[in-house]
Amino acid sequence: MPLSLFAVHLSDGAVTPAWLAGGFAGAAVLVAVACWRLPDQLVPRIGVFSAAFFVASSIPIKLLITSVHPILNGLVGVCLGHRAPLAIAVGLTLHYFLLAHGGWSTLGLNTCIIGIPAITAAAVHPILRRSGMPAFARGMLLGGGAVAAATLLNALTLLLGGQEDWSTLVRLVLLAHLPVVAIEGVLLGVIVRYLEKVKPDMLNS
C-alpha cells in the first residue's frame, strides 16, 4: 500500500482513466469560473493564498507509519470566495513539479477534491455571518468542515473510481485526518476572529 496515498493528494495510478478525465473536466470548469472577469487587484491576494496553501500542505504531521499535512482549503475559500480553485490549482501544480507530491494525472481530481469544499465554505460563510454566529465558531466550523469534506471526497473517489480495492486505505485516511480537522478548525477560528476585527474585507461576505 503506497504510503503517499494517505494524503488527500491522490497519486498517479490510484484511480481509473474515466475518473481522471472527469477530474480534469471538473477542474477546468472550476478554474474557468474562478478566472472569469478576474480583477487585477485580486491577483496579488490569490498569489499570497496560493503560497500559503502550498507551504501549509508541505508541512508533515507524523502519524505512526505515515504522515498527513494541513490543507487550509477552508481558509482559502473563506478569503478568496469562488476564486479559491485558482489558488488551489496553482498550489497543487507546484506540489507536483517541485515536491513530486500527488500526481500529474490526478491534478484535476485533486483540484476538485480540495477546491469544492473551499467554494462551499465560501458560500456558507456569509450565511453563518448573517445568522449571528460568533467569528471563532464560524471559522472553526468551516475550517474543520472543509478538511473533512475534502477527506470524504478523496475517500469516495478511491472507493468508486479506484484501480484497486482501497476500502482499508479509505478507513485509515479518514482516521488519520481527524487531527487535521481539529487543528484546522481551531486555526481558522482564530484567523476569522482576527480578520473580522482588523480587516473584515478579507473575508468573503
pLDDT for residue 7 is more than 80: no
Cβ contacts of 74 within 8 Å, gap of 6 or more: 117, 118, 121, 139, 142, 143, 144, 145, 146, 147, 184, 188
Minimum mean pLDDT range among 67-71, 154-158, 181-185: 67-71
Query: What tens digit of pLDDT does each residue of 71-103 get?
Result: 899 999 999 999 999 999 999 999 889 888 888
Specify the number of domains making up the chain: 1
**Residue 3 pLDDT exceeds 80:** no
Residue 116 has pLDDT above 90, yes or no: yes
At 66, is the pLDDT very low, low, confident or very high (cuts 50, 70, 90)?
Answer: low
Residue 151 has pLDDT above 50, yes or no: yes
Q: Which of 2-6, 11-15, 175-179 has the lowest mean pLDDT?
A: 2-6
Instruction: Say whether pLDDT at 183 is over 60.
Output: yes
- List CB contacts of 165: < 8 A, sequence separation 6 or more: none
pLDDT greater at residue 127 or residue 178: 127
Neighbouring C-beta atoms of residue 153, cutoff 10 Å:
19
State which residues form the domain around 91. 3-202
Q: Indicate which CATH number applies to the domain containing 137.
A: 1.10.1760.20
Number of neighbouring beta carbons within 10 Å of residue 154: 24
* Predicted confidence band of residue 67 (pLDDT cuts 50, 70, 90): low
What pLDDT is attached to residue 74?
95
- How does pLDDT run across 22-37, given as a tens digit for each residue? 999 999 999 999 999 9
Confidence at residue 168, expressed as pLDDT on a 0 to 100 scale = 85
CB contact at 8 A, 42 and 58:
no
